């Protein structure tokens, strides 16, 4: 299977601690890296992860609260000092330019690479990035400020060659890519060998959704249908459901309900309020609804 | 002795690493805390230090490069979330307001405490803060942008009471503070007991100077005369003296020369370029000029 991994750099809520940074992740798809949010300390966590800085393609910010963005300017500055030259695209809600362009102009004035800010409409789901490996689209969320999650959908991979059949029919190497793409083979005597005999099916297409910060939002389930892995904020336990509603956050149980209704394969909970000494209560409440749930941890890697 | 301690939160140069943050320190004078610079990750380092957030009186920024300021907005935001109510004063060179006020307005809009920015003239030494315990003045430095260091001078403490003499002369408790302040005692029969017999001298007055970032600047020595402890940047070893000059930084040997010429009691080197696998070469080069030198380390505490 091609690489599709999630690296949790930080999964805390508003208050970063020595144990847990605020929100930041890397999605590694076939050695292309995409960053989701960029809390203070992200560049140090990225170094600890031993992921290559230079493989970072783009950054996607869910919303412009500090616990999702305060690491951005420092990391951009460091990339410059390390000699990055390829463009870096940053996507985020309205105000992205007003707030970050002046900082970039001041602190990254000598930057050897271009930083391109893209303000996106967080209200309508749309595809905002696409390459040969992945398509990335927005997931409207409900928070106190404009906010959206992101859905990473892997592009289908070619079918797998059956080496024995290729040899048996003496199919030349030059035709292998066509066969992988689904072409039948016609022998010298005109016999058609159907592709299904020459190949096995391609790997199932995987997807990852990142949904933070948001109040419980049932409209998400349709967009998340059959998602391989869902990261959903679970700031509060059920005893604080009213607080969750008032602050536009979710409980762990609500996150699990979304996963259940969306037929997700796996749920990861994150964005934990620092009020809980242990997050076990969050895990238990979620697992009662959706058993295949786990708690995010800083430095955790999830292989899809 | 009253408390006078330096906590090194970060002592690296431009590139923060998991092992070493960029510049940040706390000066603790009699349980009042003063922050010097505020690199990314400072708030997490401050938590690790177990110093009380609420005892922070003021923040002093040497200059507006990112490795001295990127932790500011996150820390200010966190103070608000933790419910700080007392005003916080921040001192720094020109542009402080232009760069940081918009960030504060956006990210700390609901802040329950006031943040007051003070732009200071970095070219002329001046006292910018004073209370019963300490006076803080600026030290003009030579860097690529307006920059100054800071000199902390302890206020003299009262003389120490000789308990045996107080008892012998039956001096009432109500007079103790006057005696500490230097008053003689007149007995009922008119005999004058000179203060020198009733007290021992007060503790020597201590001082701390923080000088980073700067090229070698001999004019500093006069301002630093007899300083108890000098923290001076030592970005480079002597083999990179030209690079130091061109980038407006100092070598370890130059830092030591300043300490020697100023008759400092102790020198701490910091702001190490990340190019050196070990800073021992910096320590050796400095100690050849000024033996009582030590290398700063993150989480180090220096008791004056």
Mutate to test the interface with B, among A23, A70, A97, A100 (most CBs of B within 10 A): A70
- Nearest one of A144, A149, A142, A98 to A128, comparing CA atoms: A149
> Are B66 and A44 in contact (CB < 8 Å)?
no
Chain A contact set for B10 (CB, 8 A): none
Q: What is the mean pLDDT of residues B108-117?
A: 96
- Which residues are CB-neighbours of B1 under 8 A, at least 6 positions away? B203
Q: What is the mean pLDDT of residues B227-233?
A: 98
- Nearest one of A224, A279, A281, A280 to A257, comparing CA atoms: A224
Phi, psi dihedrals of residue B293, rounded to the nearest 5°: -115, 145
- Nearest-CA distance B94 → chain A (Å): 13
Chain B contact set for A14 (CB, 8 A): 78, 81
pLDDT higher than threshold 90 for residue B157: no
Instruction: Say what percent of chain B tops pLDDT 90.
Output: 93
> Are B66 and A73 in contact (CB < 8 Å)?
yes
- Which residues are CB-neighbours of B46 under 8 A, at least 6 positions away? B9, B26, B53, B75
Q: Is B145 on the interface with A (CB under 8 A)?
A: no
Nearest CB to B44; choose among A14, A16, A82: A16
Q: Is B116 on the interface with A (CB under 8 A)?
A: no
Q: What is the mean pLDDT of chain B?
A: 95
> Are A99 and B81 in contact (CB < 8 Å)?
no
- Nearest one of A157, A255, A160 to A206, comparing CA atoms: A157
Nearest CB to B41; choose among A41, A95, A107: A41
So what's the ipTM on this one? 0.90
Among chain A residues, CA nearest to B78: A15
Q: A20-61, pLDDT tens digit by residue?
A: 999 999 999 999 999 999 999 999 999 999 999 999 999 999
User: Tokens standing for B189?
Assistant: 């029969």
Angle, to 10 degrees, between the axis of helix A42-49 and the axis of helix A72-81? 60
> H or E element: which one contains A33?
strand A32-38
- Count of CB atoms situated within 10 Å of the CB of A155: 14
Chain A contact set for B64 (CB, 8 A): 106
Alpha carbon distance, N-terminus to C-terminus of chain B: 10
- Which residues are CB-neighbours of A269 under 8 A, at least 6 positions away? A231, A232, A233, A234, A252, A255, A279, A282, A283, A286, A293, A294, A295, A296
**SS3 for B46?**
helix
User: Tokens standing for A26?
Assistant: 């890397």
Q: B131-156, pLDDT tens digit by residue?
A: 999 999 999 999 999 999 999 999 98
Catalytic positions of B are 67
State the residue for tokens 């010298």.
A188
pLDDT score recorded for residue B17: 82
CB pairs under 8 A between A and B: 73
> Are A71 and B40 in contact (CB < 8 Å)?
yes
Instruction: Say what percent of chain B tops pLDDT 70.
Output: 100
Cα angle, residue B117 at apex, residues B115 and B123 outer, rounded to 5° = 160
Calpha distance A8→A6 (Å, rounded): 6
**Cα distances (Å, whole numbers) of residue A87 to A54, A108, A251, A291:** 11, 14, 38, 42
Q: Is B144 on the interface with A (CB under 8 A)?
A: no
Q: What is the mean pLDDT of residues A79-97?
A: 97
pLDDT score recorded for residue A120: 97
- Count of CB atoms situated within 10 Å of the CB of B5: 16
Question: What residue spans of chain B are helical by DSSP H?
Answer: 42-49, 66-69, 72-81, 96-107, 163-168, 176-180, 195-198, 220-223, 241-246, 252-261, 280-287
Q: Domains, chain A, ranges and CATH?
A: 4-157+203-303 (3.60.15.10), 160-200 (no CATH)
- Nearest one of A93, A191, A73, A98 to A139, comparing CA atoms: A93
Q: Is B218 on the interface with A (CB under 8 A)?
A: no
For the four alpha carbons of A98, A101, A106 and A107, in that order, the dihedral sign comes to: positive
User: Tokens standing for A23?
Assistant: 């929100």
Chain A contact set for B81 (CB, 8 A): 14-15
Q: Is A92 on the interface with B (CB under 8 A)?
A: no
Among chain A residues, CA nearest to B76: A66
Q: Model's pTM, two decimal places?
A: 0.92
- Count of CB atoms situated within 10 Å of the CB of A29: 23
> Are B99 and A99 in contact (CB < 8 Å)?
no
Which of the residue ranges A176-180, B174-178, B254-258, B275-279 has the most confident prediction, judged by mean pLDDT? Answer: B254-258
> Are A102 and B99 in contact (CB < 8 Å)?
yes
Residue B61 binned pLDDT confidence (cut-offs 50, 70, 90) = very high
Q: A213-245, pLDDT tens digit by residue?
A: 999 999 999 999 999 999 999 999 999 999 999
pLDDT score recorded for residue A18: 78
pLDDT score recorded for residue B256: 98
pLDDT score recorded for residue B19: 83
Alpha carbon distance, N-terminus to C-terminus of chain A: 10
Q: A180-197, pLDDT tens digit by residue?
A: 999 999 998 999 999 999
Chain B contact set for A44 (CB, 8 A): 16-18, 40-41
Calpha distance B41→B64 (Å, rounded): 16
Q: What is the mean pLDDT of chain A?
A: 95
Residue pair B290/B260 in contact (Cβ under 8 Å)? The answer is yes
**Contacts of range B167-175, beta carbons closer than 8 Å, 24 or more positions apart:** B169/B193, B169/B198, B171/B198
Residue pair A72/A38 in contact (Cβ under 8 Å)? The answer is yes
Instruction: Say what percent of chain A tops pLDDT 70.
Output: 100
Nearest CB to B107; choose among A47, A66, A71: A66
């Amino acid at each position: 299977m091609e690489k599709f991994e999630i690296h949790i750099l930080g999964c805390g809520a508003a208050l970063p601690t020595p144990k847990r940074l605020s929100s930041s992740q890397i999605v590694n798809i076939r050695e292309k890296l995409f960053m989701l949010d960029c809390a203070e300390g992200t560049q140090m966590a990225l170094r600890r992860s031993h992921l290559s800085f230079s493989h970072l393609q783009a950054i996607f910010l869910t919303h412009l609260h500090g616990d999702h963005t305060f690491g951005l300017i420092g990391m951009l500055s460091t990339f410059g000092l390390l000699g990055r030259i390829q463009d870096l695209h940053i996507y985020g809600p309205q105000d992205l330019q007003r707030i970050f362009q002046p900082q970039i102009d001041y602190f990254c004035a000598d930057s050897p690479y271009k930083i391109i800010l893209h303000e996106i409409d967080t209200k309508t789901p749309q595809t905002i990035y696409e390459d040969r490996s992945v398509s990335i689209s927005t997931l409207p969320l409900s928070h106190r400020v404009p906010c959206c999650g992101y859905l990473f959908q892997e592009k289908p991979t070619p079918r797998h060659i059956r080496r024995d059949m290729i040899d048996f029919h003496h199919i030349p190497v030059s035709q292998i890519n066509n066969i992988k793409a689904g072409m039948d083979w016609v022998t010298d005597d005109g016999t058609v060998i159907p592709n299904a005999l020459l190949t096995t099916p391609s790997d199932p297409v995987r997807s990852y959704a990142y949904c933070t910060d948001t109040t419980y939002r049932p409209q998400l389930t349709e967009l998340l249908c059959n998602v391989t892995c869902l990261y959903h904020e679970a700031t509060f336990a059920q005893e604080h459901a009213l607080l969750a509603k008032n602050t536009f956050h979710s409980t762990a149980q609500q996150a699990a309900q979304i996963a259940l209704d969306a037929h997700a394969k796996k749920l990861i909970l994150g964005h934990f309020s620092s009020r809980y000494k242990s997050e076990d209560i969050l895990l238990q409440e979620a697992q009662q609804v959706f058993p295949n749930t786990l708690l995010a941890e800083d430095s955790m890697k999830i292989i899809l």
